[in-house]
Chains A and B, each alone.
Chain A
Amino acid sequence: MTTASYEGLPERYTRIPEIGLRDTPSLRERLQRMWETPPGIRGWLTTVDHKEIGLRYLVTAFVFLFAGGIEALIMRIQLAGPEQRLLTPEQYDQLFTMHGATMIIWYAFPVLSGFSNYLWPLIFGSRDMAFPRLNAFSYWVFLASGIFLYSSFAVAAAPNAGWFNYVPYASKQFNPGINIDFYCLANIFMGISTTAGAVNFIVTTLRTRCPGMSVNRWPIIAWGTLTSNAAAILAMPVVSLAFFLLWLDRTFGTHFYAPASGNLSGHPLLWQHLFWMWGHPWVYMIVLPAQGIVSDAIATFCRRPLVGYTAVVLSTVATMMLGFGVWVHHMFATGLPIMSLSFFSAATIIISIPSGVQVFAWIATIWTGRPVFVTAFLYIAGFIFLFVVGGVSGFMTGVVPVDWQLTDTYFVVAHIHYVLIGINFFGVMAGLYYWFPKFTGRMLDETLGQINFWLTFIGFNVGFFTMHITGLLGMPRRVYTYPQGLGFEIPNLITTIGAFILAAGILVFVYNVIVSLRRGAIAGPNPWDAPTLEWAVPSPPPPYNFAVIPSVASRHPLWERRLREGDGESVLDRGPVLDHHHEALGVTAMDGEPDVILKMPSDSYAPFLMTLCISAFFAGLLVHWWWLAGAAVGIGIIVGIIWLWPRVEEGGERAIA
């Protein structure tokens, strides 16, 4: 490595990092002091450690999962029999709206961000995310927006127009309460978190990896997350705008979504287009990283590399791109021209192919590997099956004349749950059983794990497969009760029983986590004999992740000798020592060539304070205290200046190559 000449730059910007050994105690001690978060409330509010933030994302997303789950169980009690009056229609409407919003927006995407946050720098052989403070900020905003949404229950005005929130039912005229204002603002609020997180994942993926980590060597979860976050950058502005326009309609009487009258020309369908232009890509955004988890974990548990790496990567990207061209399949019954329906129908049918490629890759991996029956593998196998069930029911709804019957019945409820529980939750569970030892240093209990798996798998299928039949019998969605005598009684009772079995399975998981945190077997750095870089560091990893920056020569650094693959040898035990303050290595986007030494920011209150400002801003907009919103903007600008104020020790970058 040579030093390029950068005339006029201060000395501290130009250096060639010394090469050191990983197992140098003095180096580790120095790095530990430098990177560790101080204990106590200060550390808790200021940390920018991606591992801490990743775990917070996971735990918080699970809290939302439990909240949404309790809402679901209450609804299932109501629907266990015909004409029940446990809930009033208004209560039921609030519950199903909050259930959908919570699960889709505050659980499914953030839980995957949790994995990615924790794992990113580890699988890429790096020290931290590209923007550590932005990372802390996106977590705090996620949390605050969720609290903002749930505070609506405290004033008995939770959103009640469905998570899809169709106008004009969601307009002021038909929904005069504060319910929908909560929903509009909470979504814009959460959009900030998603967008900030997406920027961070994209830059981290492209820039802060270890040398040799070229695009063809990334674990599949990196592809899934990069793809879905790139999509977030395109999709989030659409939905944030849609909610903002609705809020304007509701607050100031604009006419974006009002039917045309006189010289005002809005249209209620504009809402549906904007909402689903985000909404359908979002479905892929919340499953592609989970598919990535499965693609990576299946290799470990089948004791061989994933079959068809390139095909799986290409199909991941292709799915996302096609995913932007299918939104009208939510609107087949709105009276759009047949020609337009035909295009979107074709796209919806065709998107099965890239999804199918992944399924066949997993099956091939099982058939050409030696699967080991641990809980994580059971969840993977279950995932593949549920993926296909959710996939074929999606294909059925893509066929327009058939969809005219299926849409807005329980068949679609079954479909969406196979997608969200099957392709998201089961992947998440596989990921948790796989990486829990890395997160905590202890193994999850396998016996409890098997009970956990079978309860969730059986409960889920009993409950939700039955919903297909309920739908084929004609039961409409989003009804707080149903009449006797249409054949809905027995399937609904079965679904309620299944839902409770599923819930019991999730409780067993919680119990397993609590027990294993205290008494689980010690994991060691690589309990699964897995191939990727996160397994090369201790469990749990030290705050600085890697004492020296490793370099990789293959897709499976920890397997490459046994597989005889790669371009030379990966070097994990010696490498550049980056120990002048918080430092990380920047590499070129495609090839992973060393490029710069990045100076990383340290812990800060700014992300938390900024989140408080934004919370106050949205609270002001909600109750029309414009002075509060204005003050929050003013203070937010000051906090932003503090956040960005240049500091010498964090101040710059220098090339090492």
Chain B
Amino acid sequence: MTQLRHGRHPQTRSSILPPRPDRKTWVSSGIAALFTTLLPCAARAQDQLPISHGLSYLTAFGPKNYSVVTLLYAVIIISLVVMTIVGVLVLFGSLLRGARPVDGNIASVPIERSGSGLLFIYIGAAVSFVVLLAVAVWNYVVLAAIAAPPANAAATIHVTGHQWWWEVQYESSEPSRTFTTANEIHIPVGKPVKVELSTADVIHSFWVPALSGKMDTIPGQHNVTWLQADKPGVYRGQCTEYCGQQHAHMGLLVIADPPDRFDAWWQNELEGPDQVHVNVPAADAREGQTVFMRHCAACHAVRGTMAMGKVGPDLSHLMERRSLAAGAVPNTVGALSGWISDPQRIKPGNYMPTLTLSAAELSKLRDFLRTLR
């Protein structure tokens, strides 16, 4: 698997095969357009990112998926051809051979053994066998190529599934450069990233359709998968193993940045809250931090503060994220207030308690959260 093979110069493909990764299909572009309107902050945070990708996997955007999507189209076509042949045989056979019983009396159609008909079975079975064998071999070739993560991974990320959000730890040989975030994964464009999977509770499944197939997170077991995006963009992911009431709202985003941006992002993640670039009065933010420490810090962590809770998502740099509550709502000021004041309305059954905050406290808390950039 080299860059050359899958970068700007994909292998020669016949016209029936899926579109090249750099050509948008109407599906992906339509979904992308709708998706960007959903996430108003996406434009603000990373305005030059060209596309957001939904959950469709009909177009591949990374080397783990190119050969899979080609194989997917091949088996779809084989399936459609088989369906058509059988449909036509049943329909035309019935119409051509159909009998008209006299007075609707079926017994008026004579019983005859006309021809053995075994040729249908011989030919059908032989053709099926050849096609199936070919697909099986193709299957193994693709499987062998994509299963193991490349040895030269640019980063190793540890993703832990929780009911119902994703904990993301970036690992490094230097302990001071490791950090934890949630629900959004940044990766450098064009480089493979190894993803180690585990779970804090029940089985979940990690899926970023445009980049990679699924891998479950299973208690007591460490599964590994990998991601690589060849184009900058926002790739949507989703938990796909039923895990309880809010399985529907267990999304994640993978953001592929150019390597220099990725490095800058990593550096920023290591730092604490940033009040310089935010239009929030410092006093309000400080009071908000007090509210945070009293009501939120038992579960949530913010680097550079005394908040070190591990139960809920890490909120350092919350404002850098595009959505809240694992993709349930966009990260806007209004949605943030709504989420804090009544989490059960947005994600019924989730484990975030409903806090009794006064309007003033809520406002201050929000001011503090807005400094988390």
**CB-nearest residue of chain A to B105:** A529
How far apart sit A371 and B209, CA to CA, in the bound complex (Å)?
Answer: 46
Contact of A366 among B97, B214, B219 (CB under 8 A): B97
- Nearest-Cβ distance from residue A340 to partner chain B, whole angstroms: 12
Which of A197-205, A280-288, A399-407 lies at the interface? Answer: A399-407
Q: Does B139 contact A (CB under 8 A)?
A: yes
Contact of A90 among B91, B94, B349 (CB under 8 A): B349
Give the chain A neighbours of B34 by CB distance below 8 A.
Answer: 484-487
The answer to whether A359 and B86 have CB atoms under 8 Å apart is yes
**CB-nearest residue of chain A to B116:** A307
- Nearest-Cβ distance from residue B328 to partner chain A, whole angstroms: 8
Q: Does B146 contact A (CB under 8 A)?
A: yes
Contact of A408 among B93, B136, B223, B241 (CB under 8 A): B241
Which of B107-115, B278-286, B303-311 lies at the interface? Answer: B107-115
Known A-B contacts A360-B124, A396-B75; the reply to A352 vs B132 at CB < 8 A is: yes
Which of A209-217, A380-388, A643-651 lies at the interface? Answer: A380-388
Max chain B Cβ within 10 angstroms of own Cβ: one of A268, A350, A474: A474
**CB-nearest residue of chain A to B84:** A388
Known A-B contacts A367-B120, A395-B132, A476-B240; the reply to A372 vs B101 at CB < 8 A is: yes
- Nearest-Cβ distance from residue B247 to partner chain A, whole angstroms: 6
Give the chain B neighbours of A357 by CB distance below 8 A.
Answer: 121, 124-125
Q: Does B4 contact A (CB under 8 A)?
A: no
The answer to whether B93 and A268 have CB atoms under 8 Å apart is no
Which of B54-62, B181-189, B289-297 lies at the interface? Answer: B54-62
Give the chain B neighbours of A487 by CB distance below 8 A.
Answer: 27, 30-31, 34, 54, 56
Q: Does B142 contact A (CB under 8 A)?
A: yes
The answer to whether A169 and B79 have CB atoms under 8 Å apart is no
Within 8 A of A (CB), among B72-128: 72, 75-76, 78-79, 82-83, 86-87, 89-91, 93-94, 97-99, 101, 106-107, 109-121, 123-125, 128
How far apart sit A527 and B105, CA to CA, in the bound complex (Å)?
Answer: 8
**CB-nearest residue of chain B to A302:** B97
- Nearest-Cβ distance from residue A596 to partner chain B, whole angstroms: 35
Give the chain A neighbours of B94 by CB distance below 8 A.
Answer: 366, 371, 373, 377, 381
Contact of B128 among A269, A353, A475, A559 (CB under 8 A): A353
Max chain A Cβ within 10 angstroms of own Cβ: one of B27, B67, B101, B106: B106
Q: Does A88 contact B (CB under 8 A)?
A: yes
- Nearest-Cβ distance from residue A153 to partner chain B, whole angstroms: 18
The answer to whether A335 and B55 have CB atoms under 8 Å apart is no
The answer to whether A349 and B135 have CB atoms under 8 Å apart is yes
The answer to whether A368 and B106 have CB atoms under 8 Å apart is no
How far apart sit A338 and B139, CA to CA, in the bound complex (Å)?
Answer: 12
The answer to whether B142 and A407 have CB atoms under 8 Å apart is no
Known A-B contacts A364-B117, A409-B240; the reply to A474 vs B56 at CB < 8 A is: yes
The answer to whether B116 and A473 have CB atoms under 8 Å apart is no
How far apart sit A372 and B57, CA to CA, in the bound complex (Å)?
Answer: 44
Within 8 A of A (CB), among B11-52: 27, 30-31, 34-35, 37-38
Q: Does B154 contact A (CB under 8 A)?
A: no
Interface string of B127-148 (1 = CB under 8 A from A): 0110010011001101110110
**CB-nearest residue of chain A to B37:** A485
The answer to whether B132 and A360 have CB atoms under 8 Å apart is no
Within 8 A of B (CB), among A108-123: none
Within 8 A of B (CB), among A173-208: 174
Q: Does B244 contact A (CB under 8 A)?
A: yes
How far apart sit A168 and B87, CA to CA, in the bound complex (Å)?
Answer: 43
- Nearest-Cβ distance from residue A176 to partner chain B, whole angstroms: 12
The answer to whether B89 and A367 have CB atoms under 8 Å apart is yes
Contact of A352 among B128, B223, B239 (CB under 8 A): B128
Q: Does A322 contact B (CB under 8 A)?
A: no
The answer to whether B93 and A363 have CB atoms under 8 Å apart is yes
- Nearest-Cβ distance from residue B142 to partner chain A, whole angstroms: 5
Q: In the complex, how many residues of chain B place their beta carbon closer than 8 angstroms to a beta carbon of chain A?
A: 96
Tally of A-B Cβ pairs under 8 angstroms: 306
Give the chain B neighbours of A168 by CB distance below 8 A.
Answer: 201-203, 219
The answer to whether A356 and B109 have CB atoms under 8 Å apart is no
The answer to whether A363 and B120 have CB atoms under 8 Å apart is yes
Give the chain A neighbours of B319 by CB distance below 8 A.
Answer: none
Q: Does A528 contact B (CB under 8 A)?
A: yes
Give the chain A neighbours of B215 by CB distance below 8 A.
Answer: 333, 335, 404
The answer to whether B218 and A405 have CB atoms under 8 Å apart is no
- Nearest-Cβ distance from residue A381 to partner chain B, whole angstroms: 5
Q: Does A624 contact B (CB under 8 A)?
A: no
The answer to whether B202 and A342 have CB atoms under 8 Å apart is no
Give the chain B neighbours of A256 by CB distance below 8 A.
Answer: none
The answer to whether A474 and B120 have CB atoms under 8 Å apart is no
Q: Does B371 contact A (CB under 8 A)?
A: no
**CB-nearest residue of chain A to B221:** A335
The answer to whether B78 and A371 have CB atoms under 8 Å apart is no
The answer to whether A169 and B111 have CB atoms under 8 Å apart is no
Q: Does B316 contact A (CB under 8 A)?
A: no
Q: Does A341 contact B (CB under 8 A)?
A: yes
The answer to whether B121 and A307 have CB atoms under 8 Å apart is yes
Interface string of A307-346 (1 = CB under 8 A from B): 1100100000000000000000000011100100110011
Q: Does B265 contact A (CB under 8 A)?
A: no
Within 8 A of B (CB), among A393-444: 393, 395-396, 399-409
**CB-nearest residue of chain A to B142:** A401
Selected A-B contacts with CB under 8 Å, 16 pairs: A169-B242, A169-B243, A268-B203, A311-B121, A353-B125, A366-B94, A373-B94, A385-B86, A396-B76, A404-B215, A408-B205, A408-B207, A473-B27, A476-B238, A477-B242, A487-B54
What 16 new A-B contacts, CB under 8 Å, besides A169-B242, A349-B139?
A: A88-B349, A89-B246, A161-B242, A353-B129, A364-B120, A367-B117, A368-B114, A372-B98, A374-B106, A381-B91, A395-B75, A402-B75, A472-B57, A480-B245, A483-B327, A563-B113
- On B, residues with C-beta under 8 Å from A are 27, 30-31, 34-35, 37-38, 54-58, 67-68, 71-72, 75-76, 78-79, 82-83, 86-87, 89-91, 93-94, 97-99, 101, 106-107, 109-121, 123-125, 128-129, 132, 135-136, 139-140, 142-144, 146-147, 163, 201-203, 205, 207, 209, 212-216, 218-221, 223-224, 236, 238-248, 327, 348-349
- Nearest 6 pairs of A and B residues by beta carbon: A404-B213, A474-B55, A259-B220, A364-B117, A360-B124, A364-B120
